[in-house]
Amino acid sequence: MINNPRTAGIPTKMADATNASKLFSVEGMVVVITGGGTVLTSFGLGIGQMMTRAFATNGAAKVYIVGRRKEKLDETAAINPNVIIPLVGDVTSKESLCQVADSVEKDAGYVNLVCVNSGTMPPGIGVSSHDVDVHTYRAKALEQRTEDWEETFKTNSIAVFFTTMAFLALLDAGNRHPNFPRQQSQVLVTSSIAGYLRVPTNLGAYPASKASATHLVKHLAGTLVPYGIRVNAIAPGLFPSDLAAGLIARTNTTEGRDATADGAFGKEFIPAERLGRTEDMAGTVLYMASAAGAYLNGNVTVLDGDIPAFVRLELEAFRTHPRMPMLWPRGFTSDLHAYYENSKNQSLQKEASRIRKAVNDETGEIVAVAQWTFALEGDEERSKTSQFIDE
């Protein structure tokens, strides 16, 4: 076991232990963010730029943003060119990642935090198993290219491992540098709530790749303990993103309204009634990156506006109204919305845990209960698009 020099002989002051400005400080930190240059105009900032702004605004010494598109990196770096440093790189290439790490080593010599944020979503299957027969579903599923699955896992899961390994020596050097005392170096991975879904989707490879990334975080957290390097994750729900742009447009209840504004979505879709905002992501990453989150390792913080609560609601509603069409997020009847309002204080989660199927009263046929059409069913434009990269 390698002793962490940061914790040796450093007294802890009680005042600092409860002072918010000290607890959540990232002053002097050296950060690397893959996908850190995401720039959107239609729905707001992407997650990568939310993170970049959070660190650059709050005193980080250097924030290296990594991505394939130089113009987006340069646009983001212009926000604070003295702190934000753009580096062109491809997270699916070990050679490219090592070259980026070499550049950071020459410039800074160490890293305190690596945010593995790049992500991709391939075309979905295009139909829901709840809407078509088994032969149609099989045919549509087999139209998916194995190459799309491979590329999705390369970006969303495999890149988590190789990005961590590429920066491992620099993270170790960060543990030995006095710029950020009493704080172990960390890898912070952007996962997704899609990795937790058990209800049917037409997303294809995406949920599987995010589930893989989430478990890899836990595995790496234990693996890197001897080096004093922590690994944690954030699992966002819906935030402004290229990946979710079509879904945002389709489910926003107020046409032309800011999708992050209160009431932009019905609570039957997102109980928080909006997309995640910059302050939601910034507050979470500042907590996890600072002394406030120093006790976290192998942790996955879900940041989703309580979307899973809606899935629980859907299960319970179907038990009560077994012939109600499960068309979420394409729209629910006013009866379901009223049911939600009347059921706020009931233990829906406990009920949902035992509701896995319902029986048609007339035919005795077992019908499926819950449906999550997170990707865009019937969205021809999305189905023709090979990849969306969040970087």
Q: What does the pLDDT look like over 20-47, one tens digit per residue?
A: 888 999 999 999 999 988 766 455 678 8
Q: What is the pLDDT of residue 363?
A: 38
Q: Is residue 61 part of a domain?
A: yes
Range of the domain at 330: 310-367
Do 331 and 201 sit in the same domain of this protein? no
Q: Please write the tens of the pLDDT for every residue from 199-253.
A: 666 678 889 999 999 999 999 999 999 999 999 999 988 777 665 665 565 555 5
Q: What is the mean pLDDT of the chain?
A: 76
Q: Is the dihedral of CA 355, 359, 365, 371 positive or negative?
A: negative
- How far is C-alpha 184 from the geometric centre of its chain's CA atoms? 23
Do 265 and 352 lie in one domain? The reply is: no
Q: Are residues 347 and 330 in the same domain?
A: yes
Same domain, 350 and 204: no
155-191 burial code (b ≥16 CB/10 A, e <16): bbbbbbbbbbebbbebbbbbbebeebeebbbbbbbbb
Asked if the structure places residue 378 within a domain, the reply is: no
User: Is residue 9 located within the same domain as residue 97?
Assistant: yes
CB atoms within 10 A of CB 252: 20
119 and 162 share one domain: yes
Do 203 and 349 reside in the same domain of the chain?
no
Both 257 and 339 in a single domain?
A: no
State how far the Cα of 377 lies from the Cα of 231, in Å rounded to an integer. 35
The answer as to whether 384 is a domain residue is: no
Of 304, 280, 303, the residue nearest 372 (C-alpha): 304
Q: How confident is the model at residue 263 (pLDDT cuts 50, 70, 90)?
A: low
CB atoms within 10 A of CB 291: 18
Separation of alpha carbons 65 and 331, rounded Å: 39
Where is the domain boundary, 309, 331, 359?
Answer: 309
pTM, full prediction: 0.74
Whether residue 217 sits in one domain with residue 85: yes
301 and 342 part of one domain: no
Distance, CA of 144 to CA of 160 (rounded, Å): 24
Q: What is the pLDDT of residues 319-344, one digit of tens each?
A: 444 433 333 333 333 333 333 334 44
CA nearest to 53, candidates 22, 84, 20, 85:
84
In a domain, 116, yes or no: yes
CATH of the domain at 251: 3.40.50.720
Which residues are tagged catalytic? Answer: 191, 206, 210
- Last residue of a domain, which of 267, 284, 309? 309
Residue (of 323, 327, 320, 318) closest to 361 by Cα position:
323
CA distances (Å), origin 207, targets 156, 200, 372: 10, 10, 12
Whether residue 156 sits in one domain with residue 68: yes
Q: Which of 309, 329, 347 is the last residue of a domain?
A: 309
- Report how many domains make up the chain: 2
CB 240 within 8 A of CB 227: no
Determine, yes or no, domain membership for 375.
no
Q: Are the C-beta atoms of residues 50 and 279 closer than 8 Å to each other?
A: no
202 and 89 assigned to the same domain: yes
Q: Which residue, 263, 277, 278, 269, is CA-closest to 250?
A: 269
Q: Is residue 380 part of a domain?
A: no
Which residues are 302's β-sheet partners? 235
Percent of the chain with pLDDT over 90: 46
CA 255 to chain centre: 26
Question: Phi and psi at residue 172, in whole multiples of 5°?
Answer: -65, -40
Does 116 have pLDDT greater than 80? yes
Per-residue model confidence (pLDDT) at position 253: 53
Whether residue 386 is contained in a domain is answered as no
Q: Is residue 316 part of a domain?
A: yes
